[in-house]
Structure 1
Amino acid sequence: MTDFIDPVLTFIAENPSLAGLICFLAAMGEALFIIGLFVPTTVVLVGAGTLIGLGKLDPMPLFIWTTLGATAGDAISYWIGYAFKDKIKSMWPLRNYAHMIESGEEFFKRHGGKSVFIGRFVPGVKSVVPGIAGMAGMNFTRYTFVNVTSALAWTIAHIGPGIIAGSALGAIGQISGRLALVLGALLLVIFLIVLLGRWLILIILPLFPNTHSAIVGWFARREDRASQWIARNFDPAHPRSAGMLASALLLLICVPSFFWLVGEVAPGEPMVRADIAILNLFDSLRTPVGDKIMVFMTSLGDGVVVSGVTIGVAAYLFARKAWRRGIGFVIAMAGTAVFVPLFKLLLHRSRPMELYAGADAYSFPSGHATLNAVLFGICAVLIAHDLSRWAKASIFTVFATYVITIGFSRIYLGAHWMSDVLAGLFFGTAMVAAFAFVFGPIHNEKIGRTTLAGIVALTLTAVGGWHLYGNFDKALLTYQPRTNTEVYTVTGWQETGWQSLPARRVELNGDREEPLVIQYSGTLNQFAEFAAKDGWQLPPKWSLTTASGFVEGETPPDSLPILPRSQNGRQPDLVLIKKDPDSHKSGRWVLRLWPSRYEILQSGALHPLYLGSVVHEDILRPMGEFSGPRTDRHVPGASDNPATLIPGAVTHTRADGTEVVLAISPDETAGPSKTETPKANSRGR
């Protein structure tokens, strides 16, 4: 996986001025009037700070560029407000965000000139306050002073955390680059989910300001009881209609998504192959330190911890005489606890590893993901009830991060397939939405939000700490990586075993791609040496120089880097290219060898078995200005498969007519790949 990250880091490191320009544009874009809602500045600046922490960028130029961008953006917004005044409220599409302009005006009235400084750090108003200052006619000299000083502080606040994160990832990377990649992937997943939620609330919904009223009006004109009930409860004038509408939409999305996944995990479906590929990907990224982190998180999601927090929350609700919410909470948790094992018994889907007994031995859906989503989702609903939307967003972000991390740990540890966790999150979210829909409108049951949050935190800490203290070492053994290697003798492999190996490459999304026409056992160096005799060579590495070849119309085929491809979640261990011998053609052959879970017992030693594809890429040159590789042949001829160059290679024909070459390295001095013979495993990876 580092093959994907290193080119990006190298590109930025070689172009610091370009990185500064990107930060300038991002900082300016977020400060522009209303437009700033659409600009993902946080990910850009935190990412830039991370690269500084990793030692890839010089901090001072980036700091200057970002500060200038923030200053310029606010200055432009001030000018827009100064030039157009109140006309802004009636201009399209700004009129769809009138509520935000009104919030900015209230903020400016309350804080005066210092709102320019404060507002830069307040979500929801930071993209409108400079324009409001212009509309109010704030003195430009005074505004400029506040603008520059706030831009300095804002830059530090955004780049600083990235520098800390980059330094931490760099330190972790010194221990293990794979661990740093896993943690980075987790943070990316959480960030994207939070970002999508933010865009939905701030950007998408305001674009349809009259849709809510139109739908409610349609139901109000109907005379049946159901329509009248919907019209009353979803009336925009109703103080809780927006929350009920959001809950109803979540139900309409999550319930069908759950049952769609049920159909997608049937044998032979692409989702099943995608699950295996993703499991292999995480297997390749596992490290001892990463295992400890993920076991810690997955243990916090165990049944004993969930039960402890459930009892604590239920006891508090009943003690406060919040009878309906308390009963609803207990019904939701008990119903989920019954539903999960019953559905597992109904579906009978095997886990990636043998873990539990009884109904829990089955996999779909993930009990950890489902129960924790319901428990902490309902807690978030109760704590965030009747708060401002930004307070709600913050609370749901914290709880969602916790639940997603637990689900992530189940996939990383191989305890569940990815689809199991997704199904659990969908069902859990649907249960939370149903709870919010039914019990959200209740306003006569007073609950201390701070007290409830404290009970959740204290119970989780006490029960989780006790559970971890007594079971952490045992859990580490339970979730330790499983060996799933199958061993063939040379004869068994060449006679019949080759037919049981994958015939086609499997993408991460489960799609079957080009045929795997090579099965090779031995050292990669020796394979490359034999292939070199027929013109095969290593491709150029990714860099600014090689990447620029894609935008030049005269780039030779052997000067373009290779686009990455995975096989069942694994990255290739060897990539070779061969330019077309005919100078009138503009193409190349590309060979990739991926590691497999098979090994060949040869001369008393175990040798890894690699699976390979050989495809032909034609270099397209539209308008003579670009060079783009396009795969036009997925199956090579006999003379184009370099495995045939190895002495003793054997060719077999599959049922679909494709030929696969079996080859063994003649170098029998290569050491064994493992010190002991692993047990065969039947999970089909």
Structure 2
Amino acid sequence: MTDILGQIVAFIGDNPSLAGLICFTVAMGEALFIIGLVVPSTVVLVGAGTLIGLGKLDGVSIFIWTVLGATAGDALSYWFGHFYKDKVRKLWPLSRYSSLMDRGEEFFRAHGGKSIFIGRFVPGVKSVVPGIAGMVGMNATRFTIINVTSAIVWSAAHLGPGILAGTALEAIGQISSRLAFVIGGLCVILFLAVMMGRWLILIILPLFPGAHSAIVNWFAKRPGRASQWIAATFDPDHPRSIGMLVSALLLLITMPAFFFFIGEVAPGEPMVRADVAILNLFSSMRTPIGDTIMVFFTSLGDGIVVTVVTVTAALYLFFKRAWRRATGFLIAIGSTAIFVPLFKALLERSRPMALYSGADSFSFPSGHATLNAVLFGICAVLIAHDRNRWIKAAIFTVTAVYVITIGFSRVYLAAHWMSDVLAGFLFGLAMVSAFAFVFGPIHNEKIGRNSLAAIVVGSLTVFGGWHVMTHLDQAIATYEPRNRFQILTQTEWQANGWTQLPKNRIELSGGTKEPLVIQYAGDPSRLAPVLAAHGWSKPPKWSLSTASGFVEGKTPADKLPILPRTQNGRTPALVLIHKDETSDPDGGGRWVLRLWPSRFQILADGSLKRLYVGSILHEAILRPMGEFSGPKTDREAPTVSTNPVRLLPGALIRTWPNGMEVVLCEEPAASPVTPNTTGKPGARSRAN
């Protein structure tokens, strides 16, 4: 999918005239009388703006094409209404949208000539207002002036967010290409969902008035139980039909997603690498205060607390004679409690660190995440039952935040991999959805929602608080960070040990990126002054002032902060930049050197030195429409002869089987000897 989208983007970028024609067509089509309802102008134009932000299209030409299309569409609609007048209402299928034309006419009479300008931005009426203006005889000259003015503003409003989004996606792509692709994909899905909903409400339903009620009534007249159930479920007047449909949809999504995770945690899969990278990231962020907070929440999710809250809630439901819900509640919790250790024993996935014995010593899925999602999710369903939407939203939001916090604590404390927790959430949500679908329609069991909420919160607070306080010190010791370094001697490292380090950077998503062309043993702070003599310097720190450089079209490359990148979840210990004056004297490019810590230490001369891996990238500075400055990686490594760390005394060159070369070096002496070479990655070094 990524390759296909990349080819489409490249094709459009290589054919700007075609892109302009597409923007003209959709901008015009969106403004045509009634027809504009089905034209996805927002999706296309925001997408075009995104391509401008990514540097694939010329912003000025696309803007002109869009303005011309919007102007032409409104003009055609105006003259259509001007010539046909009220005959428009009798033409099929336009006659089906008389209510829409009535709304447009009311809008025009309320706002007069301003409606041409305002109407472009109002969904549901913007495709009819120009036609209404022609039907009521608005002056053509006045209409044209407003039409052109509004087209300029409308085009800027649609392309502008896309340009910002494209610039942001380009920046995110420098951090993680998969993250940028996921965000971009989610935006596309959101746009498509909105458009499908819009078409259904504004286009499809008016063509078939009363179809919904007719279908429901047809099933209601059928004698079978299934037909009666469908009629009750899909009846728009049924107060619980929406909740049941949402529950069914969630169930259909979450269970396949859970089994998808099972296949993705096999050895060698990208998700496994992502788990390691995320775990390393959290390990680098841990603090004593953070550990205490996370241990507090993870202890609240312990099995003994879940058991007490479950028993208390179940006894209350039985006391209130809510037999079916109480039984379903116990079945859901009991089956989950059996399912978790069963799957752990079947998959036998190791935890990040040893904590328990038996089936609990395995990792997938997370018991804390699964059981707490089921327990508090079902309690939330019962407590929110038949309440208004705002109270429901508040109840589910608080529940989700609490359960997600428990799951996050498991990853933070290295008790589980991230995929373990996500899979637990998916299975838990599936169980909650099944419970809501089966027991949601029950209306003859009064459970006392406020009393149930008080009992759940009270038992969690009293027993959970007691459990945490009595076991806090022990739990903190159990989850204490465990740093594990692998030690290599200097000889082992230089011989074959260097092959144990990754040859490409690993993203948080688990994907592999640019080659790691440096392995450096020692203190990174001692490398910076050596490379400073060859033009390498530390980049500007992030601040409001330096960040503003991204929205200015003339910011030099060495004045822009560096976008963050992680290697296997670890943040860089050293970042240096070198201005590239060979490609653009105005500051249009730069080289970026990063060093990340590894899990290895080198034993040399009786002392241990931390081993670091590093990359060197070239970034071109894109300036879409001359108003932004966005870095984009265009070269992923210099040649080995221009790798600046090769200048260090004793540096060695090693070659991977694929031909990629990496430089092994150690920290320089206190007064290093500067070799007679430029050390610039953009030009060939004279030393060899």
TM range (shorter): 0.5 to 0.7
Which range moved further: 623-632 or 348-357? Answer: 623-632
For residues 204 and 387 of structure 1, the distance between their equivalents in structure 2, rounded to whole angstroms, comes to 30
Q: Which residue of 2 aligns with 1:467?
A: 467
SS at structure 1 position matched to 2:355: coil
Equivalent positions of 1:20-59 (< 5 A) are: none
Q: Which residue of 2 aligns with 1:658?
A: 660
For residues 490 and 215 of structure 1, the distance between their equivalents in structure 2, rounded to whole angstroms, comes to 76
Q: Which residue of 2 aligns with 1:640?
A: 642
Q: Which residue of 1 aligns with 2:612?
A: 610
SS at structure 2 position matched to 1:578: strand
SS at structure 2 position matched to 1:446: coil
Amino acid of the structure 2 residue aligned with 1:319: F
Q: Which residue of 2 aligns with 1:24?
A: none
For residues 277 and 542 of structure 1, the distance between their equivalents in structure 2, rounded to whole angstroms, comes to 24
**Does the 8 Å CA contact 1:349/1:364 hold for their aligned counterparts?**
yes
Offset of residue 555 of structure 1:
4.0
Change in CA separation of 1:622 and 1:537 when aligned onto 2, cut-off 3 Å: same
**Does the 8 Å CA contact 2:232/2:241 hold for their aligned counterparts?**
no
Larger radius of gyration between Structure 1 and Structure 2 = 2
Offset of residue 634 of structure 1:
1.1
**Does the 8 Å CA contact 1:274/1:510 hold for their aligned counterparts?**
yes
For residues 279 and 217 of structure 2, the distance between their equivalents in structure 1, rounded to whole angstroms, comes to 51
Change in CA separation of 1:205 and 1:535 when aligned onto 2, cut-off 3 Å: closer
Q: Which residue of 1 aligns with 2:304?
A: 304
Q: Deviations over 1:12-57 (max 9, x none)?
A: xxxxxxxxxxxxxxxxxxxxxxxxxxxxxxxxxxxxxxxxxxxxxx
Offset of residue 512 of structure 1:
0.5
Offset of residue 490 of structure 1:
0.9
Amino acid of the structure 1 residue aligned with 2:397: T
Q: Deviations over 1:549-569 (max 9, x none)?
A: 445554443333322211111
Equivalent positions of 1:491-570 (< 5 A) are: 491-570=491-570
Q: Which residue of 1 aligns with 2:42?
A: none
Which range moved further: 330-339 or 488-497? Answer: 488-497
For residues 332 and 260 of structure 1, the distance between their equivalents in structure 2, rounded to whole angstroms, comes to 22
Match among 590, 593, 601 for residue 588 of structure 1? 590
Change in CA separation of 1:554 and 1:303 when aligned onto 2, cut-off 3 Å: closer
Amino acid of the structure 2 residue aligned with 1:419: S
Offset of residue 583 of structure 1:
6.5
Change in CA separation of 1:524 and 1:402 when aligned onto 2, cut-off 3 Å: same
**Does the 8 Å CA contact 1:220/1:228 hold for their aligned counterparts?**
no
Q: Which residue of 1 aligns with 2:436?
A: 436
Q: Which residue of 2 aligns with 1:42?
A: none
**Does the 8 Å CA contact 2:640/2:663 hold for their aligned counterparts?**
no
Amino acid of the structure 1 residue aligned with 2:641: S
**Does the 8 Å CA contact 1:332/1:431 hold for their aligned counterparts?**
yes
SS at structure 1 position matched to 2:664: strand
Q: Which residue of 1 aligns with 2:456?
A: 456
For residues 318 and 545 of structure 2, the distance between their equivalents in structure 1, rounded to whole angstroms, comes to 67
Q: Which residue of 2 aligns with 1:629?
A: 631
Q: Deviations over 1:295-325 (max 9, x none)?
A: 1110010000000011111111111211111
Residue segments in structure 2 that go unaligned for 5+ positions in a row = 1-106, 126-186, 672-688
For residues 359 and 344 of structure 1, the distance between their equivalents in structure 2, rounded to whole angstroms, comes to 6
**Does the 8 Å CA contact 2:282/2:412 hold for their aligned counterparts?**
yes
Q: Which residue of 1 aligns with 2:244?
A: 244
Offset of residue 622 of structure 1:
4.9
Q: Deviations over 1:87-115 (max 9, x none)?
A: 99xx97589xxxxxxxxxxxxxxxxxxxx
Equivalent positions of 1:6-21 (< 5 A) are: none
Offset of residue 362 of structure 1:
1.1
For residues 394 and 506 of structure 2, the distance between their equivalents in structure 1, rounded to whole angstroms, comes to 39
Amino acid of the structure 1 residue aligned with 2:644: P
**Does the 8 Å CA contact 2:581/2:589 hold for their aligned counterparts?**
no
Offset of residue 535 of structure 1:
2.1
Equivalent positions of 1:33-112 (< 5 A) are: 93=123
**Does the 8 Å CA contact 2:640/2:662 hold for their aligned counterparts?**
no
For residues 214 and 267 of structure 2, the distance between their equivalents in structure 1, rounded to whole angstroms, comes to 46
Change in CA separation of 1:93 and 1:635 when aligned onto 2, cut-off 3 Å: closer
Change in CA separation of 1:214 and 1:667 when aligned onto 2, cut-off 3 Å: farther
For residues 301 and 216 of structure 1, the distance between their equivalents in structure 2, rounded to whole angstroms, comes to 47
Which range moved further: 540-549 or 559-568? Answer: 540-549
SS at structure 1 position matched to 2:527: helix
Which range moved further: 512-521 or 378-387? Answer: 378-387
Verify: 1:370 aligned to 2:376, yes or no: no
User: What count of residue pairs does the alignment treat as equivalent?
Assistant: 484
**Does the 8 Å CA contact 1:603/1:668 hold for their aligned counterparts?**
no
Which range moved further: 520-529 or 217-226? Answer: 217-226
Offset of residue 626 of structure 1:
4.6
For residues 427 and 559 of structure 1, the distance between their equivalents in structure 2, rounded to whole angstroms, comes to 48
Offset of residue 541 of structure 1:
2.7
Offset of residue 417 of structure 1:
0.9
SS at structure 1 position matched to 2:386: coil
Verify: 1:235 aligned to 2:230, yes or no: no
Q: Which residue of 2 aligns with 1:193?
A: none
SS at structure 2 position matched to 1:611: strand
Q: Deviations over 1:98-145 (max 9, x none)?
A: xxxxxxxxxxxxxxxxxxxxxxxxxxxxxxxxxxxxxxxxxxxxxxxx
Amino acid of the structure 1 residue aligned with 2:599: R
Verify: 1:336 aligned to 2:336, yes or no: yes
SS at structure 1 position matched to 2:473: helix
Q: Deviations over 1:263-316 (max 9, x none)?
A: 221222221111111111111111111111111110010000000011111111
For residues 583 and 452 of structure 1, the distance between their equivalents in structure 2, rounded to whole angstroms, comes to 69
For residues 658 and 346 of structure 1, the distance between their equivalents in structure 2, rounded to whole angstroms, comes to 40
For residues 432 and 269 of structure 2, the distance between their equivalents in structure 1, rounded to whole angstroms, comes to 30
Which range moved further: 518-527 or 432-441? Answer: 518-527
Amino acid of the structure 2 residue aligned with 1:310: T
**Does the 8 Å CA contact 2:507/2:513 hold for their aligned counterparts?**
yes
Offset of residue 619 of structure 1:
3.2
For residues 555 and 323 of structure 1, the distance between their equivalents in structure 2, rounded to whole angstroms, comes to 69
**Does the 8 Å CA contact 1:650/1:663 hold for their aligned counterparts?**
yes
**Does the 8 Å CA contact 2:527/2:668 hold for their aligned counterparts?**
no
Change in CA separation of 1:325 and 1:534 when aligned onto 2, cut-off 3 Å: same
For residues 397 and 493 of structure 1, the distance between their equivalents in structure 2, rounded to whole angstroms, comes to 52
For residues 554 and 459 of structure 2, the distance between their equivalents in structure 1, rounded to whole angstroms, comes to 66
Offset of residue 338 of structure 1:
0.6
TM-score (norm 1): 0.65
**Does the 8 Å CA contact 1:517/1:659 hold for their aligned counterparts?**
yes
Amino acid of the structure 2 residue aligned with 1:285: M
For residues 468 and 254 of structure 2, the distance between their equivalents in structure 1, rounded to whole angstroms, comes to 32
Offset of residue 411 of structure 1:
1.0
SS at structure 2 position matched to 1:253: helix
For residues 461 and 552 of structure 2, the distance between their equivalents in structure 1, rounded to whole angstroms, comes to 59
For residues 400 and 284 of structure 2, the distance between their equivalents in structure 1, rounded to whole angstroms, comes to 27
Change in CA separation of 1:525 and 1:472 when aligned onto 2, cut-off 3 Å: closer
Change in CA separation of 1:229 and 1:284 when aligned onto 2, cut-off 3 Å: same
SS at structure 2 position matched to 1:514: strand
Identity of aligned residues (%): 63
Offset of residue 217 of structure 1:
5.9
Q: Deviations over 1:205-259 (max 9, x none)?
A: 9966699996786577577864553233232122211111121121122112212
